[in-house]
Chain A
Amino acid sequence: MEKFTTHTGTALPLRRSNVDTDQIIPAVYLKRVTRTGFEDGLFAAWRKDPQFVINRPEYDGATVLVAGPDFGTGSSREHAVWALMDFGFKVVISSRFADIFRGNSGKAGLVAAEVTQDVVEQLWKLIETEPTTQVVVDLQERTIQAGALTAPFRIDDYTRWRLLEGLDDIGITLSHEEDVTSFESSRPSWKPATL
């Protein structure tokens, strides 16, 4: 995974709450067996509307998504994170993320930055008034800066550390393999097996 320290880019205002994973990428786009190319499914139903914010030329090239509360609810599909990343997003800002989506983001390298709804509203106003506003997301300091606004965001310490270092979870766990083996030797014999 690439290291993430600070990201600067323009932002897209998505004025919707409860953006579920079926909206981020509908199930019909999940049939690919590769890890890339999911950008075609991103917000597929909404994108058919030429007025949908992602289709507006002033937001071309935005890399920060600013969304309403309860972003990423629903299914466990990591494809939702991949679709956002494949499309070019590096950061999603919301006042509340669904747990699985937040977890998947951390694993895949997308920063899910949690702020108060008040900060979301201020960011929406800023980027709707001036779409070229540069938004700076500093993971080291856990701050978002845009125009005159500087606000803290929440991300758990461990995910932040892994993203800053670009670490692979499986590698970290395998360094504790002795603990796993020792745990396995103490499991009760009546636990079920599939083979």
Chain B
Amino acid sequence: MGKTLSEKVWDEHVVRNAPDEPDLLYIDLHLIHEVTSPQAFDGLRLAGRKVRRPDLTLATEDHNVPTIDWDKPIADPVSRTQVETLRRNADEFGVRLHSLGDVEQGIVHIIGPQLGLTQPGMTIVCGDSHTSTHGAFGAIAFGIGTSEVEHVLATQTLMQARPKTMSVTVNGSLPAGVTAKDLVLTLIAHTGTGGGQGYIVEYRGSAIEELSMEARMTICNMSIEWGAKAGLIAPDQVTFDYIEGRPSAPKGADWEAAVEHWKTLVTDEDAVFDKEIVLDADTMTPFVTWGTNPGQGVQLGQNVPAPKDFEDEGDQVAAEKALEYMGLEAGTPMREVKVDTVFVGSCTNGRIEDLRAAAAVLKGRHVAADTRLLVVPGSVRVRLQAEDEGLDVVFKEAGGEWRGAGCSMCLGMNPDQLQPGERSASTSNRNFEGRQGKGGRTHLVSPLVAAATAVRGTLSSPADLEA
């Protein structure tokens, strides 16, 4: 019997396996940021251990960093301490760090692909659940906790039980105005937040193959939101074209050898998945969340659901709590939900294509009165590229705020936060209670919906602007 893509990549990285023990897996790339690493470096110091492979390790500052005044010391003393701790640790252990102010700084999952460090067939980990983003290249990439960060620093390996495999086949083509974000939100509403648990998921089918690398990253990024261990997409010419010429891409004969190997990284025809899901892209429409987990979503054209709409008693209770927290009444058309802040950014939708999509909608238009638009590029390179293309001018002329790179309002560890009761339309990945600031209410949306919402002040798609 043949192997699935994820089984091939997994098997290439098994250092050791023994009965009744998890596999010992080699890690090709370990990404680090300031929030989940300090206790891991402390552990190394206490045990007198070194970083085994600093040459396979890369650190950046993203979660805490301010998106204004980034050339000044960080104002929040606690955030500053955490960032300074990372700088000291990187220096002491010889790890390459892209600090605030460095042209390569940015959200950890944006800069890996951008530098060409993310390549097919790799194993990539980071103390951050959205590490699944890198799966878009046909890599096995997943988030780990701080104990595991320490384990990888010390040994460049991880003990991992082999996950089951699942395929999500998306047939057809996404209609115009419907994006990768809508696709993945539709999927999560279908599976629930626990539907992927214990599986590495391969996204496949014509609708996936037609996507750009950036859109594929959006899909894989949200794998964790339905509980999957990791999500990946088989590498193809789109993948190779994206990587070629980037700073860390293989060159010359190495490039030829690498591509030859990468072309073998596809699921064999006779391979069997433990579970299969099939979706149809042709019928998809813009999709938004109404509740407090990413599975609580509906089509933009639908209404806020009522608890009684759900069969499962647990779902009914969850819906009731979510509606109360979100301050929404069942039956309200989603299009009538008024939004205070629109956030465009994050590792889900903070890449150049996302900013281009939002800018195309906003060009020649203005943000609604009482609505705030915050645009935060995912990396310094994305910011510079956008400025080169004049996108910053589009955002500013529309009345939006143009910021520096970082995680920003996705999780509100820096000053970019919602006020209690404030409502956002956000291109990020989590609508959990208080995620974007205590008492804040989040609707997850695509960059197109975000931009149209900023113009109308209520949840909208670009088509609503033409009506």
A16 within 8 A of partner (CB): yes
Which of B42, B147, B227, B229 is within 8 Å of A108, CB to CB?
B147
B159 to chain A, nearest CB (A): 6
A140 within 8 A of partner (CB): no
Query: 1/0 contact trace for B120-136 toward A, CB 8 Å?
Result: 00100001110100000
Interface size band for A: 35 or more
Closest to A77 in B: B36
B117 within 8 A of partner (CB): yes
Q: Are B155 and A170 in contact (CB under 8 A)?
A: yes
B238 within 8 A of partner (CB): no
Interface size band for B: 35 or more
Which of B15, B85, B317, B412 is within 8 Å of A176, CB to CB?
B15
Contact A76 to B49, CB < 8 A, known contacts A170-B154, A176-B15: no
A168 to chain B, nearest CB (A): 9
A194 to B241 CA separation, bound complex (whole angstroms): 21
A33 within 8 A of partner (CB): yes
Q: Are B96 and A195 in contact (CB under 8 A)?
A: yes
Q: Are B79 and A31 in contact (CB under 8 A)?
A: yes
Most chain-B Cβ atoms within 10 A of its Cβ — which of A16, A75, A172?
A: A75
Residues of A within 8 A of B39 (CB): 33-35, 78
- Looking at the complex, which of A56-64, A95-103, A141-149 is the stretch in contact with chain B? A95-103
B35 within 8 A of partner (CB): yes
Chain A, 5-57, CB within 8 A of any chain B CB = 15-18, 20, 22-23, 26-28, 30-35, 45
A100 to B146 CA separation, bound complex (whole angstroms): 11
Residues of A within 8 A of B453 (CB): none
Q: Are A190 and B258 in contact (CB under 8 A)?
A: yes
A194 to B55 CA separation, bound complex (whole angstroms): 5
B38 within 8 A of partner (CB): yes
Which of A31, A35, A108, A157 is within 8 Å of B64, CB to CB?
A31
Residues of A within 8 A of B142 (CB): 100
Q: Are B16 and A100 in contact (CB under 8 A)?
A: no
Chain B, 180-230, CB within 8 A of any chain A CB = 193-194, 197-198, 224, 227, 229
Residues of A within 8 A of B357 (CB): none
Chain B, 19-56, CB within 8 A of any chain A CB = 20-22, 24, 26, 28-29, 35-36, 38-39, 42, 47, 49, 52, 54-56
Query: 1/0 contact trace for A78-121 toward B, CB 8 Å?
Result: 11010000000000000010111001100110000000000000
Q: Are B145 and A81 in contact (CB under 8 A)?
A: yes
Q: Are A74 and B159 in contact (CB under 8 A)?
A: no
Q: Are A35 and B433 in contact (CB under 8 A)?
A: no
Which of A27, A100, A192 is within 8 Å of B119, CB to CB?
A192
B323 within 8 A of partner (CB): no
Chain B, 125-163, CB within 8 A of any chain A CB = 127-129, 131, 142-148, 150-151, 154-157, 159, 161
Q: Are A191 and B151 in contact (CB under 8 A)?
A: no
B254 within 8 A of partner (CB): yes
Q: Are A173 and B24 in contact (CB under 8 A)?
A: yes
- Looking at the complex, which of A65-73, A122-130, A131-139 is the stretch in contact with chain B? A65-73
Which of A15, A18, A107, A184 is within 8 Å of B293, CB to CB?
A18
A30 to B193 CA separation, bound complex (whole angstroms): 24
Q: Are B412 and A28 in contact (CB under 8 A)?
A: yes
Contact A170 to B150, CB < 8 A, known contacts A74-B432, A98-B197: yes
Contact A169 to B38, CB < 8 A, known contacts A22-B435, A76-B128, A100-B144: no
Chain B, 333-361, CB within 8 A of any chain A CB = none
Contact A31 to B434, CB < 8 A, known contacts A107-B148, A192-B116: no
Q: Are B193 and A73 in contact (CB under 8 A)?
A: yes
Which of B64, B94, B143, B194 is within 8 Å of A69, CB to CB?
B194
The binding surface of chain A is classed by DSSP as loop
Q: Are B145 and A173 in contact (CB under 8 A)?
A: no
B165 within 8 A of partner (CB): no
Closest to B29 in A: A192
B99 within 8 A of partner (CB): no
Chain B, 389-417, CB within 8 A of any chain A CB = 411-413
B179 to chain A, nearest CB (A): 23
Which of B96, B119, B144 is within 8 Å of A76, CB to CB?
B144
Chain B, 62-113, CB within 8 A of any chain A CB = 63-64, 78-79, 81-82, 85, 94, 96
Residues of B within 8 A of A96 (CB): 194, 197
Closest to B159 in A: A169
Residues of B within 8 A of A192 (CB): 28-29, 116-117, 119, 122, 248-250
Which of A17, A28, A78, A179 is within 8 Å of B318, CB to CB?
A17
Q: Are A22 and B432 in contact (CB under 8 A)?
A: yes
Q: Are A16 and B321 in contact (CB under 8 A)?
A: yes
- Could you pull out 14 A-B pairs where Cβ atoms are within 8 angstroms? A18-B292, A23-B433, A27-B413, A32-B78, A76-B144, A96-B197, A98-B194, A100-B224, A192-B29, A192-B122, A193-B56, A193-B248, A194-B117, A195-B94
Given contacts A22-B435, A192-B122, 10 further A-B contacts (CB under 8 A): A20-B293, A31-B413, A45-B434, A96-B194, A100-B144, A103-B148, A172-B159, A187-B26, A188-B258, A194-B117
Q: Footprint of A on B, CB under 8 Å?
A: 15-16, 20-22, 24, 26, 28-29, 35-36, 38-39, 42, 47, 49, 52, 54-58, 63-64, 78-79, 81-82, 85, 94, 96, 116-117, 119, 122, 127-129, 131, 142-148, 150-151, 154-157, 159, 161, 193-194, 197-198, 224, 227, 229, 248-250, 254-255, 257-258, 261, 292-293, 314, 317-318, 321, 411-413, 430, 432-435, 438-439
Pairs of residues from A and B, 8 with the lowest C-beta to C-beta distance, nearest first: A78-B145, A107-B147, A104-B145, A76-B143, A33-B38, A190-B254, A190-B250, A195-B55
